[in-house]
Chains A and B, each alone.
Chain A
Amino acid sequence: MTPQGLEPVLRVREGTKRFGGVLALDNVDVEVFAGEVLAILGDNGAGKSTLIKCISGVHRLDAGVIEMDGIEAAFHNPSDARELGIETVYQDLALFDNLSPSANFYAGREMAGPGWLPTGMRFMRRRAMSVATREVLDRLHVGLPDLERPVGLMSGGQRQAVAVARATAFAARLVILDEPTAALGVREARGVLDLINRLRGEGKAVIVISHAMDHVIEVADRAVVMRKGRVVGELIPTRESRQQIVSLIVGGEG
């Protein structure tokens, strides 16, 4: 599946991260390409979350480098990562339940003017934000009953879709999804998996953390398995390799 002869959108080289005496990431090498869905698998405490937090700028690696398009990228905080085109959807979704989808999309980066006023004093271009939001949602085939309705009145799947769409709208290169289907029923999970497929169709690189093996098999092009902070295996997830993946995760012989 991996596109040959291309520079990966993002590459972590020999990434190492320590929390006190605990080695959370141990010499981790991971890469993800444009138009590819990479699953990161592992048991709790395997280092998945630490890895994505390093990639999204929440933590900094103690050793090793993160490269974007083959060039070393220095992230000091989540804003840096965002500016480089990386958006992360955490499990809590970080949505504003009291605001509409478009207000959620543009929270903290509202379209507003005139430019000579300080940001907070500017007047919002609400119509433009609405239109742009609708465009993104339409493009990703996310149909919401009412775009002016606060997000808090939407179902878990719809909220997940809004959060993913928001990330997609601003992620030029890479979207990171942390357990995107964990809290959802079967039907709503389907919608989100489909959405992930569309992100790939748009040529974004996608990293998914998930415990739901069926979902990983269905949606991921490649899977990296982590255990105790190290990458212990990499394979293409299929129904046939399912058993192999599970044993890699739990550390059995397989």
Chain B
Amino acid sequence: MERHLRRLLTIITEASIERSLISDLKAFGARGYTITDARGQGHRGKRALDWEHSGNIRLEVICDAALADRLAAHLRERYYDHYAMILFVQDVEVLRPEKF
């Protein structure tokens, strides 16, 4: 079976900016995304998900390399200064390239 290389962009950040992140993703042309609730601790303190806005989300986007780079640069520019945000990029193989 033929495999195609794409990038997986993972963003772990504050649940409070979920809406604004999603509108960014759409504006940049991402075709889809997955969000899960997340807990953890980092240098901006513990995020326990025990009520409303104290939670983290983990947002995953699979896209081509160019879009992953553009998105990463934009997110760094727009959110890094004031929000707790971790972002990393991995290579992944997908079976249906037309989806991503």
Q: Do A and B come from one complex?
A: no
